[in-house]
């Protein structure tokens, strides 16, 4: 249903395809990223504080494979495929040695990895372009002509192409997640989250399961990164993939409801939507009505953005500690006795 509305919306409201279309596309990309994180945090119960680095690695790999600066310049689709696989590989490489760490120690390892990745991207200027980033990332379909339609040019000019590409990718990832939830692996993930020892006693290899979670999470984040770089036509600079972003996505996943697909999507819509849609809109509204002629920060919306944001997080957690749309399993669990620390 929602999908149909989202698919038709830009056709009915041409304006949506433009200004807001760009923002909604970004929103979809964050949804994909958050769904990736949800595999780790939601299903498997491993706190991950460095998801943005995999997002960034995906973006940079795509850029390296497509920008004119490098000799590869393979098309968007093969580049995305390679980038996603490679990101999954890097996820495995990080996961393998660190799996025996307990929850919060693993969290700090992922945080540390995020910082290392950011600094490395920034400093390896010959490869990553440093703070300039890699650009221009050609639009998907550059050089491909279908029925007289130059796809690359269409992507560059009409944001609706990206809108649909992002929407289709998101739909694909949602579908994948649905399948995962019902699959053997999906149930194994949850079993490991609930009780690792019991799961192992049942013949589940916790190591394999956690590694799969790591790989899937990284791969999906990498996919989001590819879309992100392509839609901005640049990797942006490494600061775009810092701890702040990881935290934001993590908040979205928890706020929406751990392990819940609709919850995750709602969480992203609220948090990212607040920063990229509501806040700028409110600010320009205040300006247009000239409420704040002196330009005092106390009277501008942006002056209060952080506090509103923070308060929202606190209040949601206070009144809906399992998230806005908790997964059924989580909701049931909450009524049982909480586990001791």
Partner 1 sequence: MFVVTACRPADPDLVKIVSSLPRTGSAKHQSDTLVRGIRMAIEEAEGRVGPFRVEYLDLDDSTAAAGQWTSEAEAANARRALQDPDVCAYIGTFNSGAAKVSMPILNLGDLLMVSPANTAVGLTKPGMGTPGEPEVYRPTGRRNYARVVPADDLQGPMAADWAVRRGVKKVYILDDNEVYGKGIADLFDERCRELGVEVLGHDSIDAKAQEFKSLMASVKATKPDLVYFGGTTQSKGGQLAKDMTAAGVGAILMVPDGCMEQVFIDSAGAANLEGRCFVTFGGLPPAKLTGKGGEFVQRYREKHGELPEAYAVYGYEAARVALHAIATAGSKDRRAITDAALGIRDFDGALGHWGFDENGDTTMRTLTVNIVRNGKFEFEEVLHEADLVAEPAASAGATPAP
Partner 2 sequence: MSAQFFLQQCLIGLTNGALIALVALGYTMVYGIIGLINFAHGDLIMLGACLALSIVGALGLAAVDPAVTWVAIAGLVLVCGLACGSLNVAVDRIVYKPLRNAPKLAPLVSAIGVSFIFMNIGLFWLGSADRSFPELLPSDNVLPDDWGLQFTQKDRLVVLIVVPLMVALSILVRWTKLGKAMRAVSQDPTAAALVGVDVDRVIAATFFIGGFLGGAASVVYSLYINTIGFQMGFQNGLYAFTAAVLGGIGSIPGAVLGGVVIGLVRALASAYVGERWTGAIVFAILIVILVFRPEGLLGRRVREKV
- DSSP calls for 78-138: HHHHHHHHHHHHHHHHHHHHHTTS-HHHHHHHHHHHHHHHHHHHHH-HHHH-GGG---PPP
Residues that bind partner 1 (CB under 8 A): 13, 15-16, 18-23, 26, 68-69, 119, 122-123, 129-133, 135-136, 156-157, 159, 232-234, 236-237, 239-240, 244-245, 248, 275-277, 279-281, 283-284, 287-288, 295, 297, 302, 305-306, 309
As measured in angstroms, the least distance from the Cβ of 282 to partner 1 is 10
Strand partners, 149: 146
SS3 of 20-79:
HHHHHHHHHHHHHHHHHHHHHHHHCCCCCCCHHHHHHHHHHHHHHHHCCCCCCCCCHHHH
Taking the C-alpha atoms of residue 55 and residue 205, their distance in angstroms, rounded to an integer, is 28
Residue 175 touches which member of partner 2, partner 1, none, C-beta under 5-8 Å by kind? none
Residue closer to partner 2, measured from CB, 11 or 299: 299
The span of 113-121, 143-151, 218-226, 282-290 binding partner 2 (CB under 8 A) equals 113-121
Q: Map tokens 């395809």 to a residue.
A: 17
* Of the candidate residues 154, 196, 233, 329, the single one contacting partner 2 (CB under 8 A): 196
Residue 98 touches which member of partner 1, partner 2, none, C-beta under 5-8 Å by kind? partner 2
In the DSSP assignment, the letter for residue 139 is: P
Sign of the dihedral defined by the CA atoms of residues 117, 119, 124, 125, in that order: positive
Nearest to 22 by CA among 275, 232, 220, 268: 232
Residue 191 touches which member of partner 2, partner 1, none, C-beta under 5-8 Å by kind? none
Query: Is 251 among the residues that bind partner 2 (CB under 8 A)?
Result: yes
Residue 150: strand, helix, or coil: strand
* Angle, CA 103 vertex, CA 98 and CA 106 arms, to 5°: 30
* Of the candidate residues 165, 258, 261, 265, the single one contacting partner 2 (CB under 8 A): 258
* Of the candidate residues 202, 310, 328, 332, the single one contacting partner 2 (CB under 8 A): 310
Residue closer to partner 2, measured from CB, 13 or 334: 334
Query: Is 275 among the residues that bind partner 2 (CB under 8 A)?
Result: no
Residue 239 touches which member of partner 2, partner 1, none, C-beta under 5-8 Å by kind? partner 1
- Give the interface with partner 2 as residue ranges (CB under 8 A): 41, 47, 97-98, 100-102, 104-105, 107-109, 111-113, 115-116, 118-120, 122-123, 196-197, 243, 247, 250-251, 254-255, 258, 297-298, 303-307, 309-314, 316-318, 321-322, 330, 333-334, 338, 340-341
């Amino acid at each position: 249903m929602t999908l149909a509305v989202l698919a038709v919306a830009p056709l009915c409201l041409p304006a949506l395809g433009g200004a807001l279309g760009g923002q909604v596309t970004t929103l979809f990309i964050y949804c994909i990223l958050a769904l990736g994180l949800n595999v780790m945090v939601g299903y498997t119960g491993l706190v991950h504080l460095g998801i943005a680095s995999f997002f960034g690695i995906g973006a940079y790999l795509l850029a390296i494979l497509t920008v004119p600066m490098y000799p590869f310049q393979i098309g968007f689709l093969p580049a995305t495929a390679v980038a996603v696989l490679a990101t999954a590989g890097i996820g495995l490489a990080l996961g393998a040695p660190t799996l025996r760490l307990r929850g919060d120690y693993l969290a700090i390892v992922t945080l540390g990895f995020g910082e290392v990745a950011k600094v490395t991207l920034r400093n390896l200027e010959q490869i990553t372009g440093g703070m300039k980033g890699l650009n221009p990332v050609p639009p998907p379909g550059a050089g491909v002509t279908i029925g007289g339609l130059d796809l690359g040019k269409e992507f560059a000019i009409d944001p609706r192409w990206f809108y649909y590409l992002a929407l289709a990718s998101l739909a694909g990832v949602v579908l994948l997640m649905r399948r995962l939830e019902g699959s053997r692996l999906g149930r194994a993930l949850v079993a490991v989250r609930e009780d690792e020892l019991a799961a192992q006693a049942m013949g589940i290899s916790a190591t394999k399961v956690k590694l799969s979670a790591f790989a899937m999470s990284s791969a999906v984040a990498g996919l989001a990164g590819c879309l992100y770089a392509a839609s901005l036509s640049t990797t942006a600079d490494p600061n775009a993939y810092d701890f702040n972003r990881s935290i934001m996505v993590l908040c979205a996943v928890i706020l929406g409801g751990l392990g819940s697909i609709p919850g995750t999507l709602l969480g992203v819509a609220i948090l990212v939507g607040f920063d990229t849609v509501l806040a700028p809109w409110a600010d320009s509204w205040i300006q247009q009505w000239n409420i704040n002629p002196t330009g005092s920060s106390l009277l501008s919306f942006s002056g209060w953005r952080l506090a509103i944001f923070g308060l929202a997080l606190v209040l949601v957690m206070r009144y809906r500690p399992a998230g806005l749309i908790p997964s059924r399993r989580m909701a049931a669990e909450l009524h049982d006795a909480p586990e001791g620390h």
